[in-house]
């Protein structure tokens, strides 16, 4: 456990980690939009700032004691993903449905299905820890579905064609 546990600083580090993480993702989305609009220099700036926000987020997470050995990290990832698909997203899906917000509902449903996939992939990695067999992963750019190996057809979550999958480097 971190020496900041139970302090105001722990709360501040958690808030800073969340903010920096969110800024990273936001700036990458802004960069993609700038690229679409032909504004390469602005896109490059957004990507640079996103990289800096990642540095900040990682530093905050380390200060929180939030990075452990790989076994513990996998267990934490399984727990987080499981919480998302069992508790967090079902409630969000119900609320978006009740409010008739179709875009949010679609986004939540896709994420909920993919979090199940992630939990399973993390569990498989934990079960096979120590194996040096490398597997390629592919991510659907529409819904985030994550596959081991190249897609053999449309996405099982959103129905996008196999061309929607990008190989993870």
73 and 123 fall within a common domain: yes
Domain match, 12 and 50 both: yes
Q: Tell me how many domains the chain contains.
A: 3
Q: At residue 147, what are phi and psi to the nearest 5 degrees?
A: -115, 145
Taking only Cα atoms into account, the Rg of the chain, rounded to an integer number of angstroms, comes to: 18
* CATH at 153: 2.20.28
- Same domain? 76 vs 128: yes
Annotate 47-68 with b (16+ C-beta within 10 A) or e (fewer): bebbeebbebbeebbebbeeee
Is residue 14 in some structural domain? yes
Length of the chain, please? 169
What is the domain extent for residue 97? Answer: 69-133
CA distance 56 to 69: 21
**Residue-level pLDDT at 2:** 75
Q: Is the pTM of this model over 0.85?
A: yes
Does 159 share its domain with 116?
no
State whether 119 and 138 are in the same domain. Answer: no
User: Which residues make Cβ contacts (< 8 Å) with residue 55, sequence separation at least 6?
Assistant: none
CATH number, domain containing residue 51: 1.20.1260.10
Same structural domain for residues 36 and 82? no
Contact 93, 109 (CB under 8 A): yes
- Paired tokens of 152: 């053999």
Same domain, 103 and 149: no
pLDDT score at 1: 55
156 and 120, same structural domain? no
Mean pLDDT of the chain: 97
**3-state SS, residue 37:** coil
Q: Does residue 163 contact residue 139 with C-beta atoms inside 8 Å?
A: no
Specify whether 88 is located in the same domain as 109.
yes
Write out the H or E segment, with its range, that includes residue 167.
strand 165-167
What b/e readout covers 8-42, taking b as 16+ CB neighbours within 10 angstroms? eebeebeebbeebbebbeebbebbeebeeeeeeee
Burial of 127 (0-12, 13-18, 19+ CB in 10 A): exposed
Asked whether residue 53 falls in the same domain as residue 73, the answer is no
Q: For residue 47, tell me if it sits in a domain.
A: yes
User: pLDDT (tens digit, 9 = 90+) per residue, 77-129?
Assistant: 999 999 999 999 999 999 999 999 999 999 999 999 999 999 999 999 999 99
Q: Percent of the chain having pLDDT more than 70?
A: 99
Neighbours of 118 (CB within 10 A): 20
Determine how many CB atoms are found less than 10 A away from the CB of residue 129: 10
* Model confidence pLDDT, tens digit, residues 18-30: 999 999 999 999 9
């Amino acid at each position: 456990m971190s020496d900041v546990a139970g302090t105001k600083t722990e709360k501040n580090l958690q808030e800073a980690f969340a903010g920096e993480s969110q800024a990273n993702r936001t700036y990458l989305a802004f960069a993609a939009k700038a690229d679409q609009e032909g504004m390469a220099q602005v896109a490059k700036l957004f990507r640079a700032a996103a990289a800096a926000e990642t540095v900040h987020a990682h530093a905050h997470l380390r200060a929180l004691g939030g990075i452990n050995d790989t076994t513990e990290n996998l267990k934490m990832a399984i727990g987080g993903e499981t919480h998302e698909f069992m508790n967090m997203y079902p409630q969000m899906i119900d609320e978006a449905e009740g409010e008739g917000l179709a875009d949010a509902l679609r986004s939540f449903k896709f994420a909920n299905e993919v979090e199940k996939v992630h939990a399973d992939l993390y569990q498989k990695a934990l079960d096979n820890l120590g194996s040096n067999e490398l597997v390629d992963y592919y991510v659907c750019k529409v819904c985030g579905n994550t596959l081991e190996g190249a897609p053999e057809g449309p996405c099982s979550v959103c129905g996008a064609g196999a061309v929607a999958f990008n190989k993870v480097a």
